Chain A
Amino acid sequence: MELMATIRIALRAIARNKLRSCLTSLGIIIGVGAVIAMVALGQGAQHQVQQQIAAMGSNVLFVGSGTMNRGGVRLGWGNTKTLVYDDVAAIRRECPAVSMVAAGTGTSAQIVFGNDNWYTRITGTEPEYLDIRAWPLDEGTNFTQDDVQTAANVAVIGDTVRKNLFPAADPVGQTVRINSLPFRVIGVLSVKGSSVAMGNDQDDVILMPYTTVQKKMNGTQWLAYAMVSAQSKEASFAAQGQIEGVLRDRHRIRQPQDDDFFVRNMADVADLYDQQTTVMTLLLASIASVSLIVGGIGIMNIMLVSVTERTREIGIRMAIGATEDDVQRQFLTEAVVLSVMGGAIGIVSGLALSFLIPRVLGWPVSISTTAILIAVLFSIAVGVFFGYYPARKAARLNPIEALRYE
């Protein structure tokens, strides 16, 4: 029997029981729709994380001054006084895998402009900081190495600070007061958003020379950290090793002793997040595909009922010359058409869900054509697998008994 005629017969049988066919397909619809939506959700999360890490710079390394243990009291990172600017200069000089380094130290302070004030983080650093973090300016200029030398009172402000202190005015050229000291705003940073690793608002910040923070605010000589940029993403592991070597050497740390610093590699962080989101995507997809299997069992159930109901029809077809193969093909086609129709509707509903999720829930999605393809193939496979037994049962009927069946 030719394929088109077989499909036409299958469609007619399906149309005969519209409600039942819809309910039967529902399992596949939900399964395919869920797989597509869940994979889109997982991949959306993955892409977002990847983008944010790329925005942070995947070849960035973070060198922090270490934890310390003073009389049994363990303090968090940034409390040792051993990381100093000479270390940063040594990293710049002696590590070939490193392309840029910027010293960093921080504090928090109340910033006042006119009648407005705002409490924010202050990052004291060097001009390279913005290049390392791939963070362009929106307006104005960056501070210079000269400003660092002279510990100048200049500030580059983040977007959140701008919004809070300068809702209308142009901030560049204005003077703000920090701890009663006047600072000239020379630049405004572009919007960076919240960070993946810490989850805090990266735009709620003021940048200035590290020397200014050390001398005029903290009154200290040491640094809290250094931001490093490796020559490339691949070179970041080499850079990590070189930095560790240089710092251990300078700090005279021997084997059994703990480091008084740490190096965090963004490539590691990126890999870690990538793994996490991949696992999450697979988990979501496998939970969703359980409903595909449940849908397949639904099809098998209804096909078995259908074979019993249509015993007489099978008898007639056999009496007028249908072979076992013809009957088997007919019922198998019916099961596959049911599951493929469910698959098609499932794709539409999966895409609709993928369209709605970001708009209603605000979660990012990324539609995967691979997932759609796999869902379609899977739904055909479900039809064949769960349709085979009922079809076989139909084909094995004895025509005489089938004809006599009431």
Chain B
Amino acid sequence: MATMTSTPPVAFSEKETAVPIRVEDVHKYYELGDTRVHALRGISVEIAHGEFVAVMGASGSGKSTFMNILGCLDGPSSGKYLLEGTDVSLLNKRELAAIRNRKIGFVFQGFNLLSRTTALENAELPAIYARISEQERISRAKEALAMVGLADRAEHFPSQLSGGQQQRVAIARALVNRPAILLADEPTGNLDSRTSVEVMEIFQKLNEERGLTIVLVTHEHDIAQFAKRSIVFRDGKIRKDEAIVNRQLASEVLRTLPALED
């Protein structure tokens, strides 16, 4: 990989066809006093349009650091990260914020909704930062809530919603600016098994029907089975990168599970 010629940020015409995520020999280390702690030691990976990748690995394997870099929350110490052909390491903070806002949708383990703020207003939030007009914002937020099956809960506060519903609001929020990539960091970590499958059903639907590229961090094997490809991290390196063979369909799994909620 080190011998690969460096590609300059691509021109607009190529962007349409540019690979959503290309990571080239990325290292990340932190200075702790005199010692240098390596989190990533030379990661190279390419994620194509419409892929559904599960990133797996034990804690400390570097998968969270990898996700932070993919999400433009953190930059690599060395190496390159091209997001839709744009070299992210060349961008300033304001441009990074714009990328997080428009190109990437985030879903977190702890939902991270704003409390005392309705589902609709939570979903609307990224559109506010994208300076979209209020009318357009509300219609997009409603559309996104409908997509995750929460059209009737728009005026509810997070405290009035179940964990699964809160995570669906968070997914609606991630979708409101119509990003090409959805990054989900342990999205089922705080959910029971049936709700987890429900969330995965939404992910699969978004991936199939809207061609959304999804990168999902999880340490649960049965959750990873809903993805199309799995990348396993270990000690800051990619240990395994393979297609998932017995891919499960969440909608089918749900039929076999007994109803617990609602």
Contacts and interface: CB of A to CB of B under 8 A. Distances in A.
A2 B94 CA distance: 17
Contact of A313 (B68, B114, B128): B114
Contacts of A326: 97, 129
Contact of A316 (B98, B114, B130): B114
B177 A321 contact: yes
Interface string B110-123: 00111011000000
B140 interface: no
Query: Is chain A's interface secondary structure helix, strand, loop, or mixed overall?
Result: helix
A1 B112 contact: no
A403 B71 CA distance: 13
B125 A319 contact: no
Interface residues of A, number: 22
Chain B interface residue count: which class?
A: 20 to 34
A306 to B, nearest CB: 14
A320 B124 CA distance: 11
A7 to B, nearest CB: 13
Contacts of A322: 97, 101, 129
B28 to A, nearest CB: 12
B101 A320 contact: yes
Interface string A1-16: 1100100000010001
Interface in A308-338: 312-313, 315-326
Contact of A12 (B74, B106, B116): B116
A319 B116 contact: no
Given A400-B74, A403-B108, A321 B126 contact: yes
A399 interface: yes
Contact of B97 (A16, A313, A323, A403): A323
A403 B170 CA distance: 15
Interface of B: 68, 71, 73-74, 93-94, 97-98, 100-102, 106, 108, 112-114, 116-117, 125-126, 128-131, 134, 173-174, 177
8 contacts: A16-B116, A317-B129, A318-B73, A319-B71, A320-B173, A320-B174, A321-B97, A321-B126
Interface of A: 1-2, 5, 12, 16, 312-313, 315-326, 399-400, 403
